[in-house]
Amino acid sequence: MSNAFFEQPILNSPYAYPSRHWELDRDGQPTQKIDGGAAT
């Protein structure tokens, strides 16, 4: 079973405001879902 969180942990460019992040559960563990949307 592959774990995308560990295969590609960095989702954003180091030169731009972060636009996506890995969703975490209540225990702080990755859910394998990407939350795409900048906070405003």
Tens of pLDDT, residue by residue over 7-30, are: 888 999 999 999 999 999 999 999
* pLDDT computed for residue 23 by the predictor: 93
The predicted structure's pLDDT at residue 2: 72
State the pTM of this model: 0.65
Check whether 6 has a pLDDT greater than 70.
yes
Residue 40: per-residue pLDDT? 44
Q: Which helix (H) or strand (E) holds 5?
A: helix 4-7
CA distance 36 to 34: 6
